[in-house]
Amino acid sequence: MTQVTQSDLLIIGGGSMGLAAADHLAARGVGSVQVLDAHDPPHDQGAHHGETRLIRLAYGEGSGYVALAQRAWAGWQRLERESGEALLLPTGVLNLGPASAPFLRQVAASARDYALPLEQLDGPGVARRWPGWRGGAAALSEAHVGAFESRAGVLRVARIIACWRQRLARSTGVTLATGARVVALEALPAGGYVAHCADGRRFGARRVLAACGQHLAGLLQPLGVTLPLTRVRKTFAWYDADARYHRERFPGFSLTDDELGIYYGFPDIDNAGFKIGRHDAGQPLAAGERLLPFGEHPADISELAQVIARYLPGVGALRHGAVCQYIRTPDEHFLIDEPLPGLVIAGGFSGHGFKFASVMGEVLGEWLACGKRAPELAAFGLARFSIPSEENA
């Protein structure tokens, strides 16, 4: 049998959270850290591809995220300074939708509770401020509200992953093994774990962080831990657009439409095109199931085209589309816990996790190394999904 490669700490999954945690641990110099990834990051098999992500502080998903978002913003700025790379574009983010939308109400509440800058506009005011939006009763009317965050913007995902890879390559304490697809995680009687890879390699450590996306639930099931995670196929696409959508003239955005759904988008950055995707809906998939390429599902093009036709008069021909995946919890909040001694899990980021990766690297790295959970992570535990027994109901 293949010898077990031992390290002090083991990270399964070299995506955004795994690499961020490894980067933090490398800076801390905590000992030997082994990172395993089934592919060779950056790649399109996880949740970190697509070039760009929005970062927002007045958080519509809940005010409990705001403190983490603020720390994440500072973390991205620090990574920029240390690396000399432009990783964060302060384009601002416009949150747009009907005044009754819970998301918009929560954005306003988060800004109020944390004294964050937030400019409120009505629909016609949005169209005047950013002519790329179509005004009038057919699109943005007085029934709509816009909440503009000036301290928000766009993260350059591919650059960030490449930056972490470069930093880890210079580290003496962290080793990244690529092509290391973990097919089983064995809990040892005396404590610690051994990860078994499909190619026969084995890696052991006393403490493990599992942040392996679609494979997380299946990896923990044999250990008696059931995770309420589902995998969903998502799409996004880039389009030709006129000068109104250049990054100097148009912010990133989220859009809620009661009829069409929930969408997000980006200005044209470096002539890459105008980018838009749908946040809700999607097609459920089993772990490991093939992602149909963009255009092979009937709704891929039409669900984006309908929003463009209604709201975005200067967006033109489709350039190209892509597919990705969300790993969702039932409430679409994160799932971060230590369900077994020495085994920390991080998953269920539900399409809005990458912006937090800079701070998640810090808090997950500290949890892994020291066994201390940051207070900000308390709400993301597995216990919230427990179903009370009849006798305790």
Q: Write out the catalytic residue numbers.
A: 49, 52-53, 275, 279, 324, 355
Dist CA 23 CA 9 (whole Å): 13
Dist CA 70 CA 335 (whole Å): 20
Q: Tell me the sheet residues that pair with 265.
A: 253, 276
Do 206 and 192 touch, CB atoms closer than 8 A? yes
Q: Residue 99: CA atoms inside 13 Å, Cβ hemisphere, count?
A: 9
For residues 364-380, one letter each, b for 16 or more C-beta atoms within 10 angstroms of the residue's C-beta and e for the rest, the string is bbbbbbeeebbebbeeb
What one-character-per-residue DSSP string does 107-144 give?
A: HHHHHHHTT---EEEEHHHHHHHSTTS-BSTTSB-TTE
The four Cα atoms 149, 93, 350, 282 give a dihedral, to 10 degrees, of: 140
